[in-house]
């Protein structure tokens, strides 16, 4: 099955489109023209440790996947867009011109996963300090740890 020339699947009763990176903007524009006027969510997934996911025939799995959830208020319907993003070129065009509310969501994906959005109006970190090294939601990001320190001077509690 396909919609707008893009592979279509079903996830628990919700339609899911699987455009290539080249089809991404045109597919989202077609959805906008088809009453999907609200971008509810835009996020990413790092499949580094779980590469075996189900994708339609003809869609090659990549390390990253950007997931966009759109809503048609008129039709009271949601649709999901899942686009594969390779680790070697972790970029996608911005949706800001169509959905201005996606600005902060794209910044968060950039900050946490390192996926850049071309032509974004302000692609800077939003959660981590500007000088932070790395992207914390990548599966290969070292979590590190902070040791707990106890003070010998802390008075003991009486029971």
Domains, the chain, with CATH or none:
2-91 (3.30.460.80)
- Residue 109 CA to residue 86 CA, distance in Å, equals 14
Point out which residues pair with 41 in neighbouring strands: 69
Instruction: Note the pLDDT tens digit of each residue in 109-147.
Output: 999 999 999 999 999 999 999 999 999 999 999 877 767
Specify the 3-state DSSP secondary structure of 130.
Answer: coil
- What is the dihedral angle through the alpha carbons of 53, 56, 59, 64, rounded to the nearest 10 degrees? -30
Is the CA virtual torsion 43, 113, 100, 89 positive or negative? negative
Pairing of strands 38-46, 64-72: antiparallel
Q: Determine the pLDDT at residue 146.
A: 67
Flag whether pLDDT at 13 surpasses 80: yes
25-44 average pLDDT score: 98
């Amino acid at each position: 099955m396909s919609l707008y020339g893009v592979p279509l699947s079903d996830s628990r009763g919700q339609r899911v489109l699987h455009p290539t990176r080249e089809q991404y903007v045109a597919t989202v524009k077609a959805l906008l023209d088809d009453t999907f006027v609200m971008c509810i969510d835009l996020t990413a997934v790092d499949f580094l440790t779980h590469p075996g996911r189900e994708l339609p025939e003809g869609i090659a799995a990549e390390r990253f996947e950007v997931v966009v959830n759109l809503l048609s208020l008129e039709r009271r319907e949601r649709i999901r867009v899942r686009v594969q993003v390779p680790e070697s070129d972790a970029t996608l065009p911005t949706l800001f011109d169509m959905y201005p509310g996606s600005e902060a969501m794209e910044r968060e994906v950039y900050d946490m996963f390192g996926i850049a959005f071309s032509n974004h109006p302000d692609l800077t970190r939003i959660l981590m300090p500007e000088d932070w090294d790395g992207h914390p939601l990548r599966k290969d990001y070292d979590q590190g740890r902070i040791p707990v320190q106890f003070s010998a001077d802390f008075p003991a509690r009486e029971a």
